[in-house]
Chains A and B, each alone.
Chain A
């Protein structure tokens, strides 16, 4: 089974509108971390936001917020007031602890977001 599933290969949003990018995850470990990254066409991955499995509040970072629904195993990214510069690939990722004590990250396949004027 996929550990991280991003079901939207592509999304379009009008400038200044809000958009939600979906992410569901699969783990039996009670302790894990969820991340969202942005990857512009230049290739560099840019960290956006983090949510720990024990965090009670949804994470927010500026225009980014993470809608964390633990029971549904979903961690959707909400971008408010979209800007043209938000056009990029967006990746959801999960980090889990292995039996050896190291942290192994798994990424989804990404969602391409296009913001149009």
Chain B
């Protein structure tokens, strides 16, 4: 069974650029969530996708957007990058989105540095 994978592992961008991060969910999982983790902080929930539809969003501006594909893999897109977007971006997949206790399986993350 393949776990959650993310690409790229590291990325350097400059302010104002756009970035796309990718996530492949664990086999059989139809729900993907994205988190931003700034240095020294806990992860902050960005949004969740269930069967290709966004079904939950945290307090992030619209320049953070996402997609989920029919194979349940997902992309996180960030437009007009700001210095504060520098963080570890974590993707997590789960079997479903419908239970409070649903276990999420995290990928290794993408480290984004915005200069």
Contacts and interface: CB of A to CB of B under 8 A. Distances in A.
A106 B41 CA distance: 12
A47 B103 contact: yes
Interface in A22-65: 31-33, 37, 42-47, 50, 52
Nearest to A59: B101
B33 to A, nearest CB: 8
B8 interface: no
A91 B55 CA distance: 24
B12 interface: no
A91 B45 CA distance: 14
B109 A108 contact: no
B74 to A, nearest CB: 16
Contacts of B88: 43
A107 B111 CA distance: 19
Contact of A44 (B45, B56, B106): B106
Given A105-B45, A109-B42, A47 B104 contact: yes
A81 interface: no
Main secondary structure of the interface of A (DSSP, over half): strand
A91 B58 CA distance: 18
B100 A45 contact: no
A104 interface: yes
A50 B103 contact: yes
Contact of B42 (A32, A42, A95, A108): A108
A108 B115 CA distance: 27
Contacts of B33: 105
A106 B101 CA distance: 14
Contacts of B55: 100, 102
Nearest to A97: B100
Given A44-B107, A102-B56, A91 B100 contact: no
Contacts of B73: none
Contacts of B100: 31-33, 52, 95, 97, 103
Interface string A91-117: 101010110101111111110000000
Contact of B43 (A31, A104, A107): A107
